[in-house]
């Protein structure tokens, strides 16, 4: 489990940058993470180019600073010093299965974890989720469907026509369910930009 600071969501990071930040948190001790970029790519199921873009984004938001580490004159790995804002935080699972989620699905899961109460229940509107994560509502809906399919979430009516009730389920082995869910129509790795702001939509 990691302690995810809610204030990070105010930065309007891309979904993959959120995931990379969370992974660095899971690797860190005393706010320092020492890890190779290839390791980040492997665990987060993204390319090294995507990792580099995410690290650049985090650096621009002053959430990390990077330093190269050498031993006997040879480069061995990077050191990342994390900036962790104060304020409210939520416990988020840091298992390989969760980090393997596609970026926007991970972002939706992360936000629902931040909204849940002690009974593991959350009830933000679709509009609220989309606005907080800067993604379109279609992406939110498909992310919720995917999370439900793989057993991390269940959805129930809360107020008819207004909000849904989302229950964050106890973690189970989701690997087989995830493989089956990958065949769901409309769930894929692509993204697009709509309008003035960047919006990530799954097609």
Contact assessment for residue 172 and residue 153, using Cβ atoms and an 8 Å cutoff: no
Determine whether domain 2-82 maps to CATH 3.40.50.720. no
Q: CB-side exposure of 29: number of CA atoms within 13 Å?
A: 2
Return the minimum-mean-pLDDT range out of 7-11, 106-110, 182-186: 182-186
Per-residue pLDDT tens digits for 111-129: 999 998 888 888 898 899 9
Q: Among all chains, which residue has been given the structure tokens 């087989």? A: 176
Burial class (CB in 10 A: 0-12, 13-18, 19+), 73: exposed
Comma-separated ranges of CATH 1.10.10.10 domains in the chain = 2-82, 101-181
pTM: 0.78
Please say whether the beta carbons of 27 and 115 come within 8 A.
no
Could you give the percent of the chain with pLDDT greater than 90?
53
Report the chain's terminal Cα–Cα distance, integer Å. 31
**Cβ contacts of residue 16 below 8 Å, gap of 6+?**
44, 46, 50, 53, 54, 103
Q: Which of 25, 19, 29 is CA-nearest to residue 105?
A: 19
Minimal CA–CA distance to 143: which of 102, 83, 96? 102
Phi and psi, residue 141, nearest 5°:
-60, -45
Domain 101-181 is in which class?
mainly alpha
pLDDT digits (tens, 9 = 90+) for 25-41: 999 999 999 998 999 99
DSSP state of 8: G
Buried b (16+ CB within 10 A) or exposed e, 54-66: bbebbeebebbee
Of 55, 64, 67, the closest CA to residue 31 belongs to 64
Q: Categorize the per-residue pLDDT at 91 as very low, low, confident or very high, splitting at 50, 70 and 90.
A: confident
- How far is the C-alpha of 30 from the C-alpha of 34, rounded, in Å? 11
């Amino acid at each position: 489990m990691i302690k995810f600071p809610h204030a990070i969501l105010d930065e309007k990071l891309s979904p993959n940058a959120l995931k990379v930040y969370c992974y660095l948190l899971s690797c860190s001790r005393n706010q320092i993470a020492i890890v190779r970029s290839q390791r980040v790519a492997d665990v987060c199921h993204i390319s090294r180019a995507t990792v580099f873009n995410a690290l650049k984004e985090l650096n621009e938001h002053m959430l990390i600073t990077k330093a190269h580490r050498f031993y006997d004159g040879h480069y061995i790995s990077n050191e990342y010093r994390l900036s962790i804002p104060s304020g409210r935080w939520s416990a988020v699972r840091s298992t390989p299965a969760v980090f393997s989620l596609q970026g926007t699905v991970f972002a939706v899961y992360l936000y629902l974890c931040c909204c849940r109460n002690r009974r593991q229940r959350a009830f933000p509107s679709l509009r609220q989720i989309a606005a907080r994560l800067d993604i379109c509502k279609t992406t939110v809906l498909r992310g919720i469907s995917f999370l439900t399919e793989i057993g991390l979430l269940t959805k129930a009516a809360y107020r008819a026509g207004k909000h849904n009730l989302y229950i964050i389920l106890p973690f189970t082995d989701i690997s087989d369910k995830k493989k089956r869910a990958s065949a769901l129509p409309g769930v894929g790795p692509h993204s697009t930009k709509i309008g003035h702001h960047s919006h990530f939509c799954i097609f």
